[in-house]
Amino acid sequence: MSIIRVAYSPDLGIALVMRSLLESEGIFIPDIASGGHVSIAGADQGYYIAVLDDDAPRAIQLLKDNSFEKYLSL
């Protein structure tokens, strides 16, 4: 199994809400990864939500169904 990034948010609070939603539905979130360092040109400054590849379709649908579609990174 591999891990796939399914969502991105520049705001930690929103990332934590998405994580909580997915975990409440039984989807494992290994960790919220933060973007690159601010001094690196072109780096995304924010937080990524990653899931196991088997859970990705369900996670994406849950995020869409709960108005987080604009944060999807796929």
Q: Which of 3.40.225.10, 3.40.50.300, 3.30.70.1530, 3.40.50.740 would CATH assign to domain 3-71? A: 3.30.70.1530
Sign of the torsion formed by the C-alpha atoms of 70, 7, 45 and 47: positive
pLDDT at 38: 56
Which one is predicted more confidently, 30 or 1? Answer: 30
pLDDT at 32: 73
Which residue reads 């991105």 in tokens? 8
Domain boundaries of the chain, sorted by first residue: 3-71
Report helix angle 56-65 to 12-24, nearest 10: 120
pLDDT at 30: 87
Type of residue at 44: D
Query: Which pLDDT tens digit goes with each residue over 23-71?
Result: 999 999 987 776 655 555 556 578 999 999 999 999 999 999 999 999 9
What pTM did the predictor assign? Answer: 0.83
